[in-house]
Amino acid sequence: MTIRAVVTGAGHYLPERVVPNSEFEKSLDTSDEWIRARSGIERRHFAAEGELTSDLATKAARNALAQAGIDANQIDALVLATSTADLTFPSAATMVQANLGMTRGFAFDVQAVCAGFAYALSNANALILSGQAKRVLVIGAETFSRIMDWTDRSTCVLFGDGAGALVLEAQEGQGTPEDRGILSTDLHSDGRHRDILYVDGGVSTQTTGYLRMQGREVFRHAIEKLAATANAAMEKAGVTTDDVDWIVPHQANIRIIQGTAKKMGLPMAKVVVTVQDHGNTSAASIPLALSVASERGQIAPGDLIVTEAIGGGLAWGAVVLRW
């Protein structure tokens, strides 16, 4: 008998305000055509004034809990992936814990930028496999609109706000790839590349700072590292591309998504794509895509899913799970 961390609920929340590419044409030397062609993005959601990352996370979490049919007080641990927490401390996770009326268990943030959800899932899986928690609420939530330099056309047109959440529960499996739940995780980071994607502010500098990115450099690393980590995770899980029903990639750029699928030898028909509607929501992009795809009926119970992501650090990783 093997313990598996099985997804029993998924939910998401997107802020009301939808901003089409054309909006940027008013203030920047850019075009809808350039943004679509180079990134695949058509629109994104931006949080309202005063709307916090923990607000988005709380709404996504409520939807996931409702789908799982459980109360927040049945959760043992809450893991929130974000790089845009409300305050320096306490963690956004404890804000969400309070918002949900969850008075037991423990909550903490994970910060691995766009790879944050892979890191959070891996942490949640470890908590369940080690017996420290039976039910874990895993959330990815971001308000990247707060760290955009609105005069920098090479970054501000690419990102959006949103949140997604999964409920993971300990269930018995057979120890085979046929089990439902997380089958493997594969994480990496390499701080030598910290200068190609970072925020030029923080507590020590007493500024919030803005996101800075050498897009072409990040792009170059992305396809190679994403395909490698996805393949490594599949090998650990004992599955091959023939077994894969869906790739649910980090949604940064359609060209990265297509390039990675091609390198893995998988057709785009097996890839969940939401980048056109959400832009890059960093740690929120994978749980958002999972929840949206599940709602659309694209991914169904029993499907084998590979998720992969890369972002600032560089940090990257992949998770193989059976839905």
Is the alpha carbon torsion for 55, 59, 65, 70 positive or negative? positive
Gap between the Cα atoms of 159 and 13, Å rounded: 16
Report the catalytic residues.
Answer: 114, 250, 280
Query: What sign does the dihedral 41-293-59-211 (CA atoms) show?
Result: negative
Rule CB under 6 A: is residue 111 a binding residue for ligand UT7?
A: no
Selected binder of ligand UT7 within 84, 143, 280, 281 (CB under 6 A): 280
Cis amide leading into 90 (omega within 30):
yes
Residue closest to 251 by CA, chosen among 306, 289, 223:
289
DSSP 295-316: HTTSS-TT-EEEEEEEETTTEE
Site string for ligand UT7, 142-161 (x = CB under 6 A): -----------xx--x----
Residue choice 34, 42, 98, 259 for contact with ligand UT7 (CB under 6 A): 34
Q: Which residues pair with residue 198 across a beta bridge?
A: 212
With contacts defined by CB under 6 A, name the span among 55-63, 87-95, 237-245, 252-260 that binds ligand UT7: 252-260
Q: Which of 1, 88, 204, 216 binds ligand UT7 (CB under 6 A)?
A: 216
Structure tokens at 172: 């018995």
Rule CB under 6 A: is residue 215 a binding residue for ligand UT7? Answer: yes
Q: How many residues in the chain?
A: 323
Beta-bridged to residue 248, according to DSSP, are 307
Bridge-based pairing of strands 17-20 and 43-46 is antiparallel
Site string for ligand UT7, 54-93 (x = CB under 6 A): ----------------------------------------
Residue 150 structure tokens: 């609105």
Q: Does 52 bind ligand UT7 (CB under 6 A)?
A: no
Of the ranges 78-86, 122-130, 233-241, 249-257, which one interacts with ligand UT7 (CB under 6 A)?
A: 249-257
- Work out which of 68, 81, 139, 252 binds ligand UT7, going by CB under 6 A: 252
Contact (Cβ atoms closer than 8 angstroms) between residue 98 and residue 106: no
Query: Which residue lies nearer to ligand UT7 by CB, 100 or 223?
Result: 223
Tell me the per-residue interface mask from 286 to 315 with ligand UT7, x by CB under 6 A, - otherwise: ------------------------xx----
- Residues at the site binding ligand UT7, with contacts judged by CB under 6 A: 30, 34-35, 38-39, 114, 153-154, 157, 215-216, 218-219, 222, 252-253, 256, 280, 310-311
